[in-house]
Amino acid sequence: MMVAVFATMSLALICGWFGRRLLAVALLVLCLTLSIGLFLFEIYSPETGFHMPWIQTEFDSMSKTA
């Protein structure tokens, strides 16, 4: 899936270089849509739903000092 994101971004840059601005913008929008879909696919878990393990939001009771 990441290959598709990079391919659409590369095609958008090539189209922009050759003056096809409308096609380049459309490909950039498609690239953004694909990257959002990839992000949501990566953080979804059937057990916990949408969860980002690198962001800890739970209260840690062991870190309290008495």
Between 66 and 43, where is the model more confident? 43
Between 65 and 51, where is the model more confident? 51
Smallest CA-to-CA distance from 8 within 30, 23, 38, 37 is with: 30
pTM: 0.69
The rounded distance, in Å, linking the Cα atoms of 3 and 61 is: 42
Residue 40's pLDDT is: 85
Instruction: Please provide the average confidence, as pLDDT, over all residues in the chain.
Output: 84
The rounded distance, in Å, linking the Cα atoms of 25 and 2 is: 19
Tell me the C-alpha to C-alpha distance, in Å, between residue 5 and each of 22, 29, 33, 64: 18, 11, 9, 44
